Structure 1
């Protein structure tokens, strides 16, 4: 905990100006801090090249973002893309006490897109202690501004984003036994010719329901899963055997070498021959 956070001061705000190297290489902190608000004045912004995570330690407040209104209370958080019009304010009668970080860099946009496709801007962290601890560590680290500050800050931001995605984007529902059984079957038989009709009959489930339950379990479709298993086996055979491309194609369950070549290049960005040469060299 920083010296400022141990005192009775109302707030601490740390503003950073990262180097070009840091901007190109890492997630980086633009601004971070702690505040216990004493009024209900709104913060309104748009077109700000930044991403903002706020965790509410106490009090109540509200957020307007992407055409929606949210009320926030202790233990909740929000994650927004500040390029969009937004505003937030503390309540007058029960002021906010919050931790926050403005950050950018690396794949910030991609992380946010994954989050916002699955969640509303406001969420309840699965582990509120972890979120609070990471944010306090970010503040302490950037307050001290040591030589390794940029690298450690990037690591902490990744940890924070990982916690958020685990809280909001990973289904907590129990995986249906049928989906588990289908996955086990595919793991043992992915090199065979497999059709949805066959699986539907074998597991006594409609094709639509089968696809939906499997994707819920694995995050990808049945045929994406089969293709991934086949490509993984092909990579092993290319690296550790002298089988021809045609032999590998057949061994992995592809209908012909041409189709194998297309799927392999789509997955790896190069031909099987190029992959073999690169890894053997």
Structure 2
């Protein structure tokens, strides 16, 4: 799924918003950004994970991620969903006490009744302002995102965390996030979680929309992207650090997932920093 709002943020916006819908479209590769994210689920059920917790989000609920928190999301196979994401930088919030209320940790909010209608109205105003005014909408969108946060502060916060051992697939996901840089053998993995390779593969694909190897490669490439951006380490060293047995395989997987070589990706990111 294309991240239209994220693209706007890379272009210098302080607030950006986007609505999308789909089936089996999952962000299984953990990612992070230097701005807040409000994920408003308008229809369906989604799972959001960090390195510490897994959250189940239902229709009309919102989850808020502070800057720098690595997270991923997926849904049950074949289940349609519709969501709106609102991205905003800390400086876009007009009142310090409002920013402090959401700055601490991931939280799930479940507005109801009039509170839900008020949240929906502000979200629609954000979408309309961006669509009609474009770059000229930022002042209005700063005001609107502050209003949205105030309304969320008044709504019910829900503990949507799933137990770390709530299910085999959640357990496997956390294991892969902890050990993606190590060799992953399907038979050994299945034995660890008291399953057969066939059953584990089938259930993993059902829950995440991805194969186990595809998921692991996504984690590895996500980490490689960060190392390419944030360090000057050689590509060969990064390849080994994220779990690839040889740099040729790393290059093939990286290009397949990003459309460019690791060196091209690093060059593009440096050019963006200079722009």
What is the TM-score when the length of structure 1 is the normalising length? 0.46
Higher radius of gyration, 1 or 2 = 1
Higher relative contact order (CA 8 A, sep 6+): 2
What is the TM-score when the length of structure 2 is the normalising length? 0.47
